Amino acid sequence: SRRIIQKHNTSGTADNPTAEQDEVDELSNQSICKQPVLAPNGSPIYRIERGGEVTYHGPGQLVMYPLLNLKQPNYQQDLHWYLRQIEEVIIRTLLHFDIKSNRDDINTGVWVGKNKIAAVGVSASKWITTHGLALNVSPNLEHFDKDIITPCGIEERGVTSISEVLRGTSSDHCPSLNEVADVALKCFGEVFHVDVTEGRPIR
């Protein structure tokens, strides 16, 4: 298995072909990941092959792309099972920072109260997984303004971050992206029963 962890410049992704038509209508005439359309604030939105709708990526957000073979023992050839395992990684990571989070019966991702703190979108080819999770550590939450995009197509719910949740609490210190990444990798190893070793940086 492999895990790619990275930080993004401000951008958005939308699934193909069920992304919100009113937000990414122009994408239908463009090839995947080639020419993005622009959100009202100028951020590019790319069409990609995964589940979910419009998802924000940007500074202050931890993005993890696990590459797993779901045909291996202890795994299931079931994307719903895999998605729930990814959510479990996030829930355990947040608990390390004294943040209680939960799943939602209808919507994917991980939530603190009614606010989404992590997006999850997965795909697979021949049961090799692609895409993954985006955990809000300390992003600029103004980028989630619904005048710009409707994050994950959910209008009636909000968005939060580790920084926002911890503000004003006894743990009023937001961990760095590297600190959160270290914990996330540990939790990933526990949930998926794999040994985690540090690889070469990808440039």
14 touches 140 (CB < 8 A): no
Among all chains, which residue has been given the structure tokens 């069920």?
A: 18
Collapsing DSSP to helix, strand or coil, 19 comes out as coil
By CB neighbour count within 10 A (0-12 exposed, 13-18 middle, 19+ buried), where does 119 fall?
buried
Given 33, 152, 174, 187, the catalytic residue: 152
What's 89-115 look like in SS3?
A: HHHHHHHHCCCCCECCCCCCCEEECCE
| Cα–Cα dist 147/128, whole Å | 36
174 counts as catalytic: no
Active site residues: 152
